[in-house]
Amino acid sequence: MASVLGTLKFAAIFLHLLVPFVVSLNFTALSQQGVLHNYAYHLVAFEHNPPTCTNSSDRDTLLFMGGLGEGFTTVPYVSGLAEALEDWSVVEVLTTSSYYGWGMGSLKRDVEELSQAVAYIKQIRPHGRVVLLGHSTGSQDAIEYISKPAAGAPDLDGAIFQAPVSDREAMRYLMGDESYYEALDFVTKWVAEGLGEEIIPIKYRGPFAAYPITARRWYSLLVPLGPNGIPRGDDDYWSSDISEDVVKSVYERVTAETKLLYLFSEDDEYMSSSLDKEALLQKWYRAAAAAGVTVDTENSGTVAGANHRYEDVPESVTQDLYGRVKRFLEGLDSDSK
């Protein structure tokens, strides 16, 4: 394990994928100074605007995990968040599932790799706290990490779920019922026939036609609840039809020391306008409380004026996000250091 000091520059030599579900041509080339950490074999993480003493043993770290198709600096608000958090280092984690890799991956693999990143951070900063911020599908990685940790995975001091959208509900909303059920029937058949690791035809990939996707992963993202109300897809944590008792069973596997923050976006384009976000948040709050897990309900909530990725929103909206995250981090128990 090693870290490489220097400047990491990103050039606009290809179309910028605005993910998780659509392609955008709105892209601005940029250079970003920071530290590139080689946290495991062929896996790296990028630290924004690091302090002079990068490896200070008590430096706190906010790890950022993006959603489907995301990678370094592709989520617009992260660089600004790094500037806003003077006392925390913001580190973006690249996993095998980043960019085009998610379609052949799984939450389990993500968590195994994220645990290596956390272990690396704790090795170089043994007295610092580590919080995981998951954006979009990255929030599923965050809840998976704290509820189904990989063997030997270090504990986190907190988890932030930003834009925790149900991929199942989003896909049905974007694809329409006919295309959604056609794709679901196809991948269900392939999985049943033992073809789960095969790449599905483009016609069944909906808005992700450019991505290689296995039948197993697409099934995990699309499949509805089972007859008993239990999620059948490994990715299905945030769907609105999951009962409070089932949600509580997830939180019962989370250590009481891990504090949580939920941040919906008011104008999230991947959530139906008919979905009652406040009711959904209240269900999650109650389930967590019943399981003995602490949620920062004062700073959790729906950020007014925000879209899924905070792209082209007023500065006041982004500052609202930064303020909520900063207050959450400041409120963590100092005894954890």
Could you report the per-residue pLDDT of 169-222, keeping only the tens digit for each? 999 999 999 999 999 999 999 999 999 999 999 999 999 999 999 999 999 999
Is 6 contained in some domain?
no
Placement of tokens 């909520």 in the chain: 324
Task: Kindly state whether residues 42 and 100 are assigned to the same domain.
Answer: yes
Please check whether residue 139 lies inside any domain of the structure.
yes
Strand locations in 121-194 (E): 130-135, 158-162
Q: Are residues 87 and 137 in the same domain?
A: yes
Q: Is pLDDT of 54 > 60?
A: no
Give the pLDDT band (50/70/90) at residue 27: low
Question: pLDDT at position 84, please?
Answer: 94
Collect all residues with Cβ–Cβ distance below 8 Å to 315 and sequence separation of at least 6.
Answer: none
In a domain, 314, yes or no: yes
CA–CA gap between residue 65 and residue 159 (Å, rounded): 11
Cα separation, 74 vs 22, whole angstroms: 13
- The residue with greater pLDDT, 66 or 53, is 66
Per-residue pLDDT at 57: 81
**Is the confidence at residue 141, as pLDDT, over 60?**
yes
Predicted pLDDT at 337: 47
Residue 52 binned pLDDT confidence (cut-offs 50, 70, 90): low
Query: Are residues 262 and 126 part of one domain?
Result: yes
Averaged pLDDT, 31-43: 90
Q: What's the whole-model pTM score? A: 0.89
Within a domain: 227 = no
pLDDT of residue 34: 87
Is residue 134 scored above 80 in pLDDT? yes
Residue 119 sits in a domain of what CATH number?
A: 3.40.50.1820
82 and 205 co-located in one domain: no
pLDDT at 2 over 70: no
Inform me whether the pLDDT recorded for 69 exceeds 70. Answer: yes
Residue 3 belongs to some domain of the structure = no
Selection from 29, 78, 269 nearest residue 165 by Cα: 269
Please write the tens of the pLDDT for every residue from 80-111. Answer: 999 999 889 999 999 999 999 999 999 999 99
For the stretch 269-303, pLDDT in tens is 999 989 999 999 999 999 999 999 999 999 999 99
Does position 336 have pLDDT exceeding 60, yes or no? no
What DSSP letter does each residue of 303-320 carry, written as one string? ETT--SS-TT--HHHHHH
Nearest to 136 by CA among 171, 112, 88: 171
What is the spatial distance between Cα 337 and Cα 59, in angstroms, rounded to a whole number?
10
Which tokens belong to 154? Answer: 């270090």
DSSP letters for 61-130? EEEEE--TT--TT-STTHHHHHHH-TTEEEEEEP-TTTTTTGGG--HHHHHHHHHHHHHHHHHH-TTS-E
pLDDT band at 14 (very low <50, low <70, confident <90, very high): very low
**Does residue 258 lie within any of the structural domains?**
yes
Residue 25, pLDDT > 90, answer no
Q: Can you tell me the distance from the alpha carbon of 45 to that of 62, in angstroms, rounded to the nearest whole number?
A: 12
Q: Are residues 156 and 181 in the same domain?
A: no
pLDDT confidence bin for 55, thresholds 50/70/90: low
Pair 268, 251 in one domain:
yes
Q: Which of 45-54, 150-159, 255-264 has the lowest mean pLDDT?
A: 45-54
In a domain, 24, yes or no: no
Q: Which domain holds residue 73?
A: 34-165+237-332
Asked if residue 267 and residue 121 are part of one domain, the reply reads yes
* Mean pLDDT over the full length of the chain: 89
pLDDT class of 117 with cuts at 50, 70, 90: very high
Same structural domain, 206 and 150: no
pLDDT band of residue 18 (cuts 50, 70, 90) is very low
Question: pLDDT value at position 86?
Answer: 85
Which of 127, 124, 137 lies closest to 171 in space, CA to CA? 137
Residues 284 and 216 in one domain: no
Higher pLDDT among residues 34 and 178, named by residue: 178
Statement to judge: residues 133 and 271 lie in one domain: yes
Question: Is 182 within the bounds of a domain?
Answer: yes
| pLDDT(21) > 80 | no
161 lies in the same domain as 294: yes
Instruction: Count how many Cα atoms sit within 13 Å of the Cα of residue 300 in the half-sphere of its side chain.
Output: 19
Domain co-membership, 107 together with 248: yes
Reported confidence tier of residue 16, pLDDT bands at 50, 70, 90: very low
Residue, of 88 and 26, whose pLDDT is higher: 88
Identity (one letter) of the amino acid at 271?
M
Q: What is the mean pLDDT of residues 37-43?
A: 94
Q: What domain count does the chain have?
A: 2
Lowest mean pLDDT among 10-14, 140-144, 184-188, 264-268: 10-14
CB neighbour burial string for 44-57, b if at least 16 within 10 angstroms, e if fewer: bbbbbebeeebeee
Answer whether 265's CB lies under 8 Å from 165's CB: no
| CA 272 remoteness from chain centre | 20
